[in-house]
Every structure is written in C-alpha cells, then in structure tokens.
Amino acid sequence: MVQAIGMLETRGLVALVQGTDAMLKAANVQLAGPMKQVGNAMVTAVVVGDVAAVQAAVDAGVAAIKTTGGQVVSAHVIARPNDDVKLVLPQAPKATTPAAR
C-alpha cells in the first residue's frame, strides 16, 4: 500500500519538468511512472511516498513552477489512498535484465 500520492498537473512540458525536478530534490519521494499527457497542453506527474514527504514535494514543485512563470493547473495529495487507486496511476516500465551469456 502506498502511504500517499502526490499529483502535479501543469500546462506545458517545461513547467512539468521544472516541478518534477523540484519535487524529487525536495523530499524522499519516487515517481509513480512516466508523465501523462492530457490533450495537447496539460501534463501530469505523480509521486509516491510517506504523507509528509509527498506534501513537501508537491509544495516544492508548485513553488518552483511559479518562480519560472509556468502554469500549475492542479496539485493535490491523497493520504492513504485505497489500494485500487494504483490501477489508474501511470506505471513505470518493467526493468529488463540482460540475457545471461
């Protein structure tokens, strides 16, 4: 079970990269998977971790985007999400191991 999920949605990829970088540097959180694009302008990054870390990360992401003139569409933290919420989260590709020689 994930302790918390943090979501950051922006208008434009540059703002999302700036916000995601700040989130990952600010707290002990992990990306839930690759970013998701909605239409041709909105993109979303999702991080997971403990509640305090996820909240700190999302706050840092929002602040970083605002300092660079980017546009935050939405930012939200869900503490103790239901286990089935993971079904709608982006999934990181499975790591493959090189074949034994």
Encode pLDDT of 31-56 as tens digits: 987 777 777 788 999 999 999 999 99
Q: What pTM was estimated for this model as a whole?
A: 0.84
Encode pLDDT of 8-23 as tens digits: 999 988 999 999 999 9
Count the Cβ atoms, other than its own, within 10 Å of residue 53: 20
Position of tokens 């919420």? 85
Q: Classify domain 4-82 at the CATH topology level.
A: Alpha-Beta Plaits (3.30.70)
b/e sequence 12-49, b meaning 16+ C-beta within 10 Å: eeebbbbbbebbbebbebeebeebbeeeeebbbbbbbb
